[in-house]
Structure 1
């Protein structure tokens, strides 16, 4: 299985899915709930956010959209990966193509252990602004006005519980951060879990192998 992912990853330039994307500086403010130990209300983290298209389909064609977050915390570095899905129970694990980065839900698709409970994480666009899912126009959109998302979690059959706000505001001009990898970058209080982790782990190992890591 790992060899298959590695071969496909080489064909895609080092990433099986979401091979290219735009990166931005963002502010994550935790204002509610027990998301992380020590992450008290109004605690702010400066993060890097990567926006991408899973299949890199041309132009404005609908695609599965992704937002990846690189979050430095007191406990360690956390990478969180979100993709466009449904919002309701049963649809939270279903990938959905979209034409806009600011319409509909993004979820982690697979569950996380969040301080001892099993939950999905979600990002939900705030406001009524519609930003095209074209990467070549995204820099201009962010420069015009920050993009805002609500961070939330939900049990597999429960309601979404808000935890904070993600505000994407500035083009990232720093050094290459490498791949966003939730298998390598997680902490005991917040890490991937569940029966499908073997499949996911092999996918990321295959990608790392193709990149020579």
Structure 2
């Protein structure tokens, strides 16, 4: 439909231009990727047990040094050979609407992050990922400063309509690894999809435009295996 094409073009244009000018992602342009471990208990969209994964830590606007910014965590794990991506950014809080509002912070030490959008299962259940650091030794928002403090532990919650579905921890331990292009619209847990649909569609167009404009893109289907999972089982 013409209207759909127009909306798609309006979404793509600023992301393509911004990424071309920056020669990097329009948002979260500079980051550092590390090997990590994700451990979760409970039934939900993500695999239970302990799994090796890749984590990219970044600033959304790319402000220098200790200047505040919206902090980001990109998580990729592989289940049955397929990538699953989670992108979380610092939010205003975990209660109600606050987890839907991006919020700049001045430190990793008390960062609260949300996936903002939710997954929806085939039977209508919904889940959202929340992360939190609680480490007084991380007084700066600078990713490079955090890189010198590894291992870093983030509490992880996968929250449904009526409370926690899964709880656990993401342990960023290194070493540094080659980053990947995250795409949570394409790489979602099996049996779940990102909602609302209109926003997922717009987000997919933005990611595609950014990849096409950047010289450093590795493509949405490329992934880096962070190692072999040590125990645990997949819930999907």
TM-score (norm 2): 0.77
| 8 Å contact kept, 1:22–1:50 | yes
Quick one: structure 1 residues 33 and 81, their matched pair in 2 at CA, closer, same or farther if it must change by over 3 Å?
A: same
Matched, 1:49 2:55: yes
Shift of 1:127: 5.0
| 8 Å contact kept, 1:36–1:115 | no
Match for residue 134 of structure 1? 142
Alignment counterpart, residue 164 of structure 1, candidates 146, 151, 168: 168
Match for residue 11 of structure 1? 21
**5+ long unaligned stretches in structure 2:** 1-9, 220-236
Distance 1:159 1:77 in 2: 26
Distance 1:91 1:150 in 2: 18
Match for residue 153 of structure 2? 148
Shift of 1:114: 5.0
Alignment counterpart, residue 79 of structure 2, candidates 68, 73, 76: 73
| 8 Å contact kept, 1:183–1:204 | no
Match for residue 102 of structure 2? 95
Matched, 1:205 2:208: yes
Quick one: structure 1 residues 75 and 170, their matched pair in 2 at CA, closer, same or farther if it must change by over 3 Å?
A: closer
Q: 1:33-85 CA deviation, whole Å, 9 max, x = no partner?
A: 11247x34xx2111111100001112211100000011111262111100000
| 8 Å contact kept, 1:92–1:107 | yes
Distance 1:88 1:104 in 2: 15
Count of equivalent residues: 203
Shift of 1:126: 4.2
Quick one: structure 1 residues 191 and 126, their matched pair in 2 at CA, closer, same or farther if it must change by over 3 Å?
A: farther
**5+ long unaligned stretches in structure 1:** none
Quick one: structure 1 residues 189 and 209, their matched pair in 2 at CA, closer, same or farther if it must change by over 3 Å?
A: same
Match for residue 33 of structure 1? 42
Matched, 1:104 2:111: yes
Distance 1:103 1:73 in 2: 30
TM-score (norm 1): 0.85
Distance 1:114 1:103 in 2: 31
Where is the helix percentage greater, Structure 1 or Structure 2? 2
Which structure has the greater CA radius of gyration?
2
